[in-house]
Amino acid sequence: MITANDFRTGQVILVDDQLYSVVSFSHVKPGKGGAYVRTKIKRLSDGNVLERTFRSEEKIEDVRLESKTMQYLYKDGDLIYLMDTETYEQQPMSVDTLDEALDFLVEGGNIEIEFYEDKPVGFELPPSVELEIVKTDPGVRGDTATGGSKPATLSTGYVVQVPLFIQQGETIKIDTRTGEYLERA
């Protein structure tokens, strides 16, 4: 158990039997009354961000998550299958759990999955991934000097804006935090 005064950004806490990550917090000490902590917390189950105020001496349960490196194997309907890289144990997971991560995962790629009481509650992608372009329009000669961009469909189905000189079949590096093109691989 911790008090609201001990909050840190990114910390996972248990409030009303729900897991939340602390997005931001500020200590407030009014002239009258007791001090309190104003927070923005993100519910891990669905990503909703709430504003909540805690009394500074209020006890909150601090949660430790277990992180495992998992390898993405394949997708089958509403399930994706991951393999624990240490035990080689396969684990089916709902597509909803990794919804936005699927744009950057290729078969055989690794992802960090966070577990709470053996249930997946979050994930962390590597900062960048290398993906192949499966469809893009050819660049017109002379257009490369203008610094323009064009849409390109990647091997995962994700569409990203790339410079005009990038061609179909090339492998490019994508920033997983922003979803933007970084460079040729």
Domain map of the chain by residue range? Answer: 2-62, 66-124, 128-184
Give 11-34 pLDDT, tens digit per residue. Answer: 889 888 888 888 899 988 888 888
**Phi and psi at residue 151, in whole multiples of 5°?**
-75, 145
Q: At residue 140, does pLDDT exceed 70? A: no
Overall average pLDDT of the 110-135 stretch = 85
What's this model's pTM, rounded to 2 decimal places?
0.68
Q: Please give the CATH number for the structural domain made up of 66-124.
A: 2.40.50.140
Which is it for strands 90-94 and 18-28: parallel, antiparallel or unpaired?
unpaired
Give domain 2-62's CATH number out of 3.40.630.30, 2.40.30.20, 2.40.160.60, 2.30.30.30. Answer: 2.30.30.30
The most distant pair of C-alpha atoms in the chain lies apart, rounded to whole Å, by: 70
pLDDT, one tens digit per residue, over 59-109 is 988 888 888 889 989 888 888 899 998 999 998 888 877 777 888 888 888
Confidence of residue 114 (pLDDT cuts 50, 70, 90): confident
| CATH 2.40.50.140 is the classification of domain 128-184 | yes
pLDDT digits (tens, 9 = 90+) for 43-66: 887 778 889 999 988 898 888 888
Indicate the DSSP class of residue 126.
Answer: -
Note whether 66-124 and 128-184 share their fold. Answer: yes
List the strands of the sheet with 159-163, edge to edge. Answer: 159-163, 149-154, 128-136, 171-175, 181-184
Q: Kindly state the tokens that stand for 99.
A: 């919804």
